[in-house]
Amino acid sequence: MEALAHLAAASLTGDETKKAYAALSSGFAYGLAAIGPGIGIGYLVGKSVEAMARQPEAAGMVRTTMFLGIAFTEALALIGFVVFILVGL
């Protein structure tokens, strides 16, 4: 709160404005990028657990495929994280 008030009160130069917006948007970038993969990974793992419970003898194959799926799904969140690093820090 104090930070925002401080930001509002100060007469920011162009450079500072840029930094402020960068900080703001980097936070949004990562937050938004985490939503989809969060849902996706939850759904994926839940379904995999269901499959393993139904067919325990296929658990090894399901687990391998699950990790592959997680890897692909997670990539989106990680790209968001990289954007966060690039823009914000």
Partner 1 sequence: MLTAVIHLQGAGWHASSSGTASTSPATGSDAPATSEATTGTEEHVPAGDLTKPGPIVPEMKELAWGAGSFIVLAVLMRWFLFPRLKRSMDARYQGIQADHAAAESARQAARTEVADYEAQVAAIRAEANQVVDAARNEVEAERQAKVAALQASLGEQRSAAAAEAEAARQAAQSQIAAAVGDVAGRAGELATGRRPADDVVSRVVSEVMAR
Partner 2 sequence: MLAESFKFPLINSILRWKDLFSTFNKVAMIAVAASLIGIVVFLLAGSKDGSKAPKGVRNLAESTVEFIENGIVMQTMGKDGLGWTPFLLSLFVFIYLCNAPGIIPILQMPATARMAIPLFLALLVWVVYNGVGFKHQGVKYLTHTIWPPGVPTMLKPLVGLIEFVSNIIVRPFSLTVRLFANMLAGHILLVTFALLTQSLITAETKQFMLKPMAILPFFMLVFLTAFEVLVAFLQAYIFTILTAVYIGGAAHPEH
SS (H, E, C) 36-88: HHHHHHHHHHHHHHHHHHHCHHHHHHHHHHHHHHHHHHHHHHHHHHHHHHHHH
x/- letters, 55..84, toward partner 2 (CB under 8 A): -----xx--x--xx-xxx-xx--xx-xx--
Q: Toward partner 2, which CB reaches closer, 12 or 85? A: 85
Q: Considering the rule CB under 8 A, would residue 51 count as an interface residue with partner 2? A: no
Q: Which does 6 bind (CB under 5 to 8 A by kind): partner 1, partner 2, none?
A: partner 1
Q: Toward partner 1, which CB reaches closer, 53 or 89? A: 89
Say if residue 37 is exposed, middle or buried (CB neighbours under 10 Å; 0-12, 13-18, 19+).
buried
Q: Interface residues with partner 1 (CB under 8 A)?
A: 2-3, 6, 15, 19, 23, 82, 85-86, 89
